[in-house]
Amino acid sequence: MTISVAGVPASRKTPGVNFNVVLGGSGTSAGQAPRRIMLLGNMIASALTDSSPAFSVAAGTAAIATPVFVPSPDDAAVLFGSGSELHRMSIAVFAQDPAATLYACPVAEASGTPATVVLTFATTATAAFTVRLRLCGEVIDVGVASGDTVTAIATAVADAINDNPSLPYTAQNSAGVLTIEAKHDGPRGNTLIVDAYFVSSTGAEVRITASSTSSGAGTTGVWSSNDTIGSEITLASGATQDNFTDALAAIEPQRYDRIVGACIDATNAGRIVTHVNAQAGPTVQLLEQGVVGSTDTYANVVTFAAGRNASRLQVVWNHATVIPCWEVAAQVCAARLAGDASAGGARVGEASDPAANLDSMELATVLMARVVGDQPTATEVENALNNGVTPVGASGSRPGYGVIVRSITSRSLLSGTPNYAVLDTSSVTVPDYIADTLRADLAVTFAGCKLSPDSDSAPTAPRVVTPSIVRARIAQKLKEAEAAAILINVDANLPLLVVEANALVPGRLDCEIPAAVIPGLHLIAGNVRQL
């Protein structure tokens, strides 16, 4: 063995004892690095104010199209404005993984129209009752006294909404006409769900609908100027799509292991796909995956996913949930990396085990659709998985909450034909991990080496390697991954491992490295036969 002490050359003549203190061992596993999440969405760039009733939401301090570290949900409120997309996405991430390494890059809003919805109250109250709001998973009760006018009722409800700054909308009253408005311009606001009830003094609830609904105490309520998702009432008329181009360009120089986009449109989702694919190129080597969400119908989300058909993009679907879909995507992303301990589970995520089985991973705060009929059927779940859609299903241990049914990529087609070679997200995560691990190890193990052709005898000079030596090192690292239950069939696939000197470029080795990903146990089938 030849020992080389950097800084003490063989030509040194001065007597003494010279030790070089080398801090940090050789690179062994890229899996030890923290996994970074990047959120892309809107911030509140200018303060929001109005007067009936008065409220004010401070603008965020972050800069548009500028990546920023997010230490906590409270910091996210300051950086991006309370109730903004990025604030609420941050809350969703930290709810699943309190120790997440989180960044965000604000996307500029287009100069468009915010989505709105109207709740009209009519007739002065003749008895006491409560207006109960169920908004984005929050329950807000507003007391009404006998004799309260519709102006007083609507003002109290508006105040209650505005007093919850983390909500994604604000409210105003005009003579009993309550208008709820999204905090951001654009069509994403059209997916925001609102839900309200009259609650009698005995606790009986009556849901307010798009038809005049009686409180049983004189006052009536009715939703209007709305859209619907499943059985739910949503805001409507938000218009003019934003553009993720500048934000994606701003994050390009750095690697963010998972990029979560608030986008629900094909154009911006396509921009994320283009970005992660370019970053994965061999001369860039910043291996990333994108995650986006949808609460749309089964037919629409399948069309959306099939249109992207990308190995590095995940489309998460939770139909008609009150949780905005970009928050669902953010929490799924955090669950994939960190596991579900925060939701009472015991599962690890990809940060600990790149081949982790994510089936039925518990989601900390994601709720299922209020109406069971809006939740995906077993047939829709199976077909979603056949079409590149990751469905959220009902938790078996936490009623009302969601789980990841199976974590898959949006790739389901090859030249228009069904192809599931890259089905589970682990099919991407594990090869990325192997590439990172080999890159880190080989860069250190063979730093400063010279390349000699293979021969019958091993090189005798120090720091001289051959293709066979490099191949043996790669094989060793693949066997280590197999021992860690990340790869399978390494020995059987070793004939496919090729390391050879490039015939045209001196000093270059070209490698073909097989990586058979260990599959998760997704299905057990059998017969229970009475004898």
The mean pLDDT values, 10 residues at a time, for the chain of 531 residues are 69 75 58 86 98 98 98 98 98 98 98 97 98 98 98 98 98 98 98 98 97 98 98 98 98 96 98 97 93 98 97 98 98 98 95 96 98 97 97 97 98 93 96 93 92 91 94 97 97 96 92 96 95 94
Specify the pLDDT at position 31.
Answer: 56
Nearest of 388, 451, 384, 385 to residue 414 by alpha carbon: 388
Residue whose pair of structure tokens reads 């102006």 in the numeric block: 151
Give the span between the Cα atoms of 351 and 335, in whole angstroms.
10
Residue 120 within a domain: yes
Specify the pLDDT at position 1.
Answer: 46
Whether residue 270 sits in one domain with residue 418: yes
Residue 475 within a domain: yes
Nearest of 180, 182, 177 to residue 160 by alpha carbon: 180
Whether residue 249 sits in one domain with residue 389: yes
- Who contacts 396 (Cβ-Cβ below 8 Å, separation ≥6)? 360, 403
Q: Which two tokens stand for residue 531?
A: 């004898």
Q: Which two tokens stand for residue 142?
A: 């507003």
Which helix (DSSP H) or strand (DSSP E) does residue 337 occupy? Answer: helix 325-338
Last residue of a domain, one of 189, 206, 234: 234
Last residue of a domain, one of 185, 203, 234: 234
Last residue of a domain, one of 211, 234, 257: 234
> If 0-12 CB within 10 Å is exposed, 13-18 middle and 19+ buried, where does residue 211 land?
exposed
Give the span between the Cα atoms of 304 and 313, in whole angstroms.
12
Give the span between the Cα atoms of 19 and 16, in whole angstroms.
10
Q: Where would I find the H helices in 366-466?
A: 378-386, 426-445
Residue 71 within a domain: yes
Q: Which two tokens stand for residue 36?
A: 């970074």
Give the span between the Cα atoms of 277 and 206, in whole angstroms.
50
CATH code assigned at 228:
2.60.40
Question: Torsions phi, psi of 111, nearest 5?
Answer: -80, 85
DSSP state of 191: G
Length of the chain: 531
Half-sphere exposure in the Cβ direction for 221 (13 Å, CA): 29
Whether residue 189 sits in one domain with residue 137: yes
Any bridge partners for residue 232, and if so which?
229
Whether residue 268 sits in one domain with residue 188: no
Residue 93 within a domain: yes
Whether residue 382 sits in one domain with residue 324: yes
173 lies in which domain range?
114-234
Is the distance from CB of 166 to CB of 87 less than 8 angstroms? yes
Is the distance from CB of 402 to CB of 368 less than 8 angstroms? yes
Whether residue 185 sits in one domain with residue 319: no
> What's the structural domain count of the chain?
3
Whether residue 228 sits in one domain with residue 350: no
Is the distance from CB of 349 to CB of 358 less than 8 angstroms? yes
Whether residue 282 sits in one domain with residue 391: yes
Q: In whole angstroms, what separates CA 191 from the centre of its chain?
A: 18
Residue 4 within a domain: no
What b/e sequence results for 478-495 when a residue is b if at least 16 CB atoms lie within 10 Å of its CB, and e otherwise? bebbbeeebbeebeebee
Whether residue 90 sits in one domain with residue 181: no
- Who contacts 116 (Cβ-Cβ below 8 Å, separation ≥6)? 179, 180, 181, 182, 225, 235, 236, 237, 238
Residue 474 within a domain: yes
Q: In whole angstroms, what separates CA 429 from the centre of its chain?
A: 14
Specify the pLDDT at position 230.
Answer: 97
Cis check: omega of the bond before 282, within 30 degrees of 0: no
Got the DSSP string for 336-347?
HHH-SGGGT---
3-class DSSP state of 441? helix
Whether residue 119 sits in one domain with residue 92: no
Whether residue 97 sits in one domain with residue 78: yes
Specify the pLDDT at position 222.
Answer: 98
Residue 419 within a domain: yes
Whether residue 479 sits in one domain with residue 353: no
Residue 150 within a domain: yes
Any bridge partners for residue 98, and if so which?
none
Specify the pLDDT at position 460.
Answer: 87
